[in-house]
Amino acid sequence: MSSPTAIDPPDCRCTECIVGIYVSLAEATDSQVAAMLRGDLDNHTGLTFTIAVVYELHPGQSLAQAQPTEMSVRAADRTWALDPYLLGERTLGGEGSRS
């Protein structure tokens, strides 16, 4: 079975989900949810996702240099605690920020 190309609604039992072309949100792994959020997997869920990111600011840093340390993603009464770096390395200031 190859990896799925899309995430379907949580309780989906369509043929594609059964044979593994798609995966239901209820059965998706953390890395599949992260891939969907990146746009690498199609989002068929029809759901609104709420994403909260916690940034850490060390002594001497400005807000633009803050590093993300936690990311929680909520949808359909479920919460995923994802590694913020699954979505790529980011700071509040971004890669091209002036210093």
d(CA 49, CA 11): 16
CB 76 within 8 A of CB 10: yes
> Which part of the chain contacts Zn ion (CB under 5 A), choosing from 16-24, 28-36, 69-77, 88-96?
16-24
Q: Which is nearer to Zn ion, 4 or 84 (CB)?
A: 4
Other CB atoms within a 10 A radius of the CB of residue 74 amount to 14
Q: Any contact of residue 12 with Zn ion (CB under 5 A)? A: yes
Q: Any contact of residue 17 with Zn ion (CB under 5 A)? A: yes
What is the pattern of x (binds Zn ion, CB under 5 A) and - over residues 29-68? Answer: ----------------------------------------
Q: Which amino acid is at 50?
A: T
* Size of site (CB under 5 A) for Zn ion: 5
CB 83 within 8 A of CB 71: yes
> Which part of the chain contacts Zn ion (CB under 5 A), choosing from 1-9, 60-68, 78-86, 87-95?
1-9
- Give CA 90 to chain center in angstroms: 14
Total number of residues shown for the chain: 99
Contact footprint for Zn ion (CB under 5 A): 8, 12, 14, 17, 22
